[in-house]
Structure 1
Amino acid sequence: MSALCVATAAALFSWSTSSFTLSWTHSVEKTEWQESWVIEDNALVLESARVKGSGAGMDPGEGAKLIDGWWQWQPTLPPLPALHLSASGATASPWTLCVADECMSLGEQAEAAVKLWSCPEKAESH
């Protein structure tokens, strides 16, 4: 199994996992956005995305289907070596990172940079 590492200004976390979800509330539309990610070949792969509605800067992706009030689709983003998140302070919520049943908030403070990447599996340290 792979491991997910997360670095914030204050701490470093890691989980033994091959998948995680990332969600947030859009700053203008106040609508939830969710992404499902997997770790493959030491890269982060965006497997699916969904948004509860659409609006300013929140257009559903190509091939999106409306299912139970959520626009859902499979993005065509290439695998990423890392995912960098930066907090503007203008968003309605921080990001929520969930691994299995454990969730944590990221980027609650303005300008709080966060990095997610695949790292060697070690003892869990979250």
Structure 2
Amino acid sequence: MPGLGVCLALAASAAAPPVFVPVERFTLAWTHSIEKVRWEEDYAVVASPTAGQPPVLQARTARVRGSGAGMEPPDDAVLRNGWYEYTPRMGSPQGLRLTRSPYTADYAWCVDGQCVPLGQWLPSDGGVTLLTPCARPPAPER
């Protein structure tokens, strides 16, 4: 299987090619715009169990540092070191729709404990960014 990763694309720019990010494990983190509470979700990109199919995105674990109106952690969350930790119910989403606003901080893209704004991979257009699991696209022929 070629290198695994995610493809990032702006939902409003269907003509623009997606940006390939080589990664097999990553964390998406953000701070809730009203409650100012940090959320983190850990994902893995794995090869499909069916030959010839695209890779699969797996939601592994999630954490929230507190709770607030309309954003309570699930009932099975465990409080550890100030974080409610739990296993997301979505399991293997086909992709993620990340709403990015110019009025809030961008998502943090974290790999091996190092975080950078998602905008370092793909600048926001103030709308939705699509994140899907994918394999490294073939190099263009010369």
**Structure 2: gaps spanning 5 or more residues:** 49-54
Match of 1:29 in 2: 35
Match of 1:16 in 2: 22
Q: How does 1:81-92 map to 2 (within 5 A)?
A: 81-89=94-102, 91=104
Deviations 1:50-106 (A, max 9, x none): 011111122112311111111111112131221111235554x22112234363334
Q: 1:87 to 1:15 in 2, by over 3 A?
A: closer
Distance in 2, Cα, partners of 1:34 & 1:81: 19
4+ residue segments displaced more than 6 Å: none
Shift of 1:117: 0.8
Bigger strand share: 1
Match of 1:103 in 2: 116
TM-score computed with the length of structure 2 as normaliser: 0.71
Q: 1:50 to 1:12 in 2, by over 3 A?
A: same
The one-letter code matched in structure 1 to 2:27 is T
**Structure 1: gaps spanning 5 or more residues:** none
Question: What is the root-mean-square deviation of aligned Cα atoms in Å?
Answer: 2.6
Residue identity over aligned pairs, in percent, reads 31
State how many pairs are aligned: 122
TM-score computed with the length of structure 1 as normaliser: 0.79
Q: Which of the pair has more CA radius of gyration? A: 2
